[in-house]
Amino acid sequence: MTHPIIEVTNLQRTFGANRAVDGMTFHVEPGEVFGLLGPNGAGKTTSVRLLNGILPPSGGTMRVFGLDPATQGELVRRQTGVLTETPSHYERLSARENLEFFGTLTGIPAADLPRRVDELLSFFELAHRADDKVETFSKGMKQRLALARALIHQPPLLFLDEPTSGLDPEAAQQVNDLIANLGRRNGQTVILATHNLLDAQRLCDRVAILNKGRILALGSLKELARKLWPVTWVDVTLFNGASAESASVSIQAIRGVRQVSVGKDSLAIQVEAEEIIPRVVSALAANQIPILKVNPRDYTLEDIYFALQAGEA
């Protein structure tokens, strides 16, 4: 049985009257890509700072690798890598000098450091500019260097705060591919703080949707969709000439089918759960009704997010 890498219970952080984190409770399993989603000021960056022990909490408990970041921050940070929202570098130093500096701080032995730096520079396609000052780099290159910096000590837990912010689509794609591979290839756990819902939908196993420091919903896309919309719709398009009316009659008696709307050559069927859909298809086939397409309606993270934020408003 694996233990959660992060366990947070009723976590709170206030700045004066502002509750930046207001009673968050969640856990993150090893190897997960876990999203913290929300608008600016939702508490994403503050949560990352709390979990890395650079801010003390105002209340609640948190454990990262079983350690308390508030009192054992240094030990926690040895095992975490953080890509900050504004990934600034020492612009007057070269890419290599930047990585060597952070590699030293993270405790990589001096004998191993040059090899590790070269590996990362090659992996992030920066080797040809390794000794150039960072101030001459493009934004995409700087973002890749920031990722290399976060990964230099091969931390088992990575915090990525808006990793594709300000990148062109090609650079964003590269970064997203890398994040997708981190968990799969290295077994690293990733906390992705973002308001880019498409990225989150593509990358995250589970998400916590935040607003004003509180978690509005927590779970996988499917779980969240089911919580919000307990019924599922499936659209069935019939082959040319088939009678939608007779098709409707043949499925209405199936248990779990709640409602059928008949179109010209299509049906919109409301079912209690996705498991009902194969039964619907079997019934249509048994009644010799030719089917062109079966299309269960998917909810996107965007649908869920805006439904939740609208409910909050």
- Are 62 and 8 in contact by the 8 Å Cβ rule? The answer is yes
- Closest CB to another protein among residues 80, 174: 80
Q: What is the DSSP string of 36-47?
A: EE-STTSSHHHH
Cα dihedral sign for 203, 206, 209, 215? negative
If one counts every other C-beta atom within 10 angstroms of the C-beta of residue 135, the result is 11
Give me the least distance between CB of 155 and another protein, in Å please. Answer: 10
> Is 55 a binder of another protein (CB under 8 A)?
yes
Shortest Å, Cβ 52 to another protein: 6
Q: What residue type is assigned to position 86 of the chain? A: T
Stretch that binds another protein, among 77-85, 166-174, 190-198, 289-297 (CB under 8 A): 77-85
Q: Would you count residue 19 as binding another protein (CB under 8 A)?
A: no
Contacts (Cβ under 8 Å, ≥6 apart) of 250: 283, 284, 286, 287, 289
**Which strand ranges, in their side-by-side order, compose the sheet holding 18-28?**
18-28, 6-15, 59-64
**Which residue among 10, 84, 201, 309 contacts another protein (CB under 8 A)?**
84
Return the residues of window 88-147 that contact another protein according to CB under 8 A.
Answer: 88-93, 97, 101-102, 104-107, 110, 146
Least Cα distance to 101 among 92, 90, 87 occurs for: 90
Report how many residues bind another protein under the rule CB under 8 A: 33
Q: Does 72 bind another protein (CB under 8 A)?
A: no
- Classify residue 5 by its DSSP letter: S
Q: Contact between 44 and another protein (CB under 8 A)? A: no
The residues that touch another protein, with contacts defined as CB under 8 A, are 15, 49, 52-56, 73-75, 77-78, 80, 82, 84, 86-93, 97, 101-102, 104-107, 110, 146, 149
